[in-house]
Amino acid sequence: MDQIVDPSISIKHLDLSFGVVNVLKDLNLDVAKGEFLVLLGSSGCGKSTLLNCIAGLLDITDGQIHIGGRNVTWAEPAERGIGMVFQSYALYPQMTVEGNLTFGLRNARVPKEHIREKVAKAAKTLQIEPLLKRKPAALSGGQRQRVAIGRALVRDVDVFLFDEPLSNLDAKLRADLRVEIKQLHQTLGNTMIYVTHDQIEAMTLADRIAIMRGGKILQLDSPNEIYNRPSCKYVAEFIGSPTMNFFEGTVSGRTFACPQGAFSIDGYPSQGDIAPGSAWLGIRPEHIATGPDAADMPIRLTCDVELVEPLGSDTLVRVTAHCQQLWVRMDGQAQALPGSQLAIGFQPSLINLFDKTTEARL
């Protein structure tokens, strides 16, 4: 990616340790103005910790944090010009929705007419105008989270931080509110950093995704680039459901050899010659052709069908080829029966190759 000029948020050589445990390690990150950046990773990868460092809720061990061109490394959270939305709604139960929205502004002695304007604008944007006189106990989970977002909106800041805001909601509400957050970003144009472990949220919301593991960013790129050209085997496995299929074998020239056969990889998009050695070959379930469509593919296998999962829009089929389990995504009306055989095939241009030892992309 091109270097970001005049970033909204700039993090330089950030370290954070708790005793002898290094949680974040020499982390560098620039976020463009108006960008929607998603921090994605499994539990314990450091994504929420990084967000809390940006917010000023944790004191860093080393490095610098700049927001809007200001060095805020040691600034208090209220001085950083951010609005934060947490996983828990953290609403005051004794106050109405309007009271929750105005509480911070009243404490900051913002003039009453300005408070009314800000609350009216946030309520209209989030479609919570009919809820202003209710208390949190009378709201659904989705409505409470909208109020929590509204409390950040009324602060009129340039940067919003979201820490897994949808994880307490059911699947339907999560999908609905995810759309609302995306529309909110398109409407406001503010810089937003969003923490999640849900890859669907990341892929649908982000301008760029930062995949984190062990306190480091493994890959920072657009959703399409991360999906189609993962930088390492971990990223390839983490993105996609079902996960990418992997064959373990060796590369020599333009051939990949494994227990399932010797495949020509002529057409694999590489920057140069691939050094011979042990490697993983990865192929996504939706990139595998089946039946008659597989006959013309350069890489072909005959598999035994183990399991069929009809999902309506498509069908997931688990097959076995010489003790290798694979997931195949087929059309929703496709017919596949457990115990039958299925011809599969795929193009070398769609595969991913990773070094066996380092797991880096070849």
Nearest to 214 by CA among 21, 10, 19: 21
Do residue 208 and residue 259 come from a single domain? no
State pLDDT tens for residues 122-137.
898 888 999 999 999 9
Place of tokens 């992997």: 246
Q: Domain of 157: which CATH number?
A: 3.40.50.300
Q: Percentage of residues in the chain with pLDDT exceeding 90?
A: 75
Do residue 182 and residue 329 come from a single domain? no
Domain stop point among 237, 266, 291:
237
Distance CA 295, CA 289 (A): 9
Do residue 308 and residue 201 come from a single domain? no
- Identify whether 4 is part of a domain: no
- What is the arithmetic mean of pLDDT over 164-180? 87
Do residue 94 and residue 199 come from a single domain? yes
State pLDDT tens for residues 73-116.
999 998 999 999 988 878 889 999 999 999 988 888 889 999 99
Position 261 pLDDT exceeds 70: yes
pLDDT at 173: 83
pLDDT at 89: 79
pLDDT at 205: 96
273 band by pLDDT with thresholds 50, 70 and 90:
confident
Do residue 187 and residue 323 come from a single domain? no
> Residue 274, Cβ neighbours under 10 Å: how many?
18
- 9-18 and 62-67 strand pairing: antiparallel
- Identify whether 113 is part of a domain: yes
Q: Which 3-state string (H, E, C) describes 66-81?
A: EECCEECCCCCHHHCC
Q: Domain of 265: which CATH number?
A: 2.40.50.140
Range of the domain at 261: 244-355
- Identify whether 201 is part of a domain: yes
- Identify whether 2 is part of a domain: no
171 band by pLDDT with thresholds 50, 70 and 90:
confident
pLDDT at 1: 52
- Identify whether 187 is part of a domain: yes
Do residue 184 and residue 294 come from a single domain? no
Residue 38 DSSP SS3: strand
- Identify whether 360 is part of a domain: no
Domain stop point among 237, 267, 294:
237
Domain stop point among 208, 237, 266:
237
pLDDT at 102: 92
pLDDT, the chain, mean: 92
- Identify whether 41 is part of a domain: yes
The tally of domains found in the chain comes to 2
Residues 6+ apart with CB under 8 A from 358: 232
Taken in order 113, 114, 119, 125, the sign of the CA dihedral is positive
3-class SS shares of the chain: helix, strand, coil, % to 5? 30, 35, 35
Do residue 232 and residue 255 come from a single domain? no
Do residue 71 and residue 211 come from a single domain? yes
- Identify whether 351 is part of a domain: yes
Do residue 117 and residue 232 come from a single domain? yes
Identify the residue with better confidence: 87 or 200. 200
Do residue 72 and residue 188 come from a single domain? yes
Do residue 127 and residue 259 come from a single domain? no
Beta bridge partner(s), residue 355: 279
204-224 residues labelled b (16+ CB within 10 A) or e (exposed): ebbebbbbbbebebbbbbebe
Do residue 104 and residue 82 come from a single domain? yes
- What is the arithmetic mean of pLDDT over 205-224? 97
CA 146, chain centre distance (Å): 21
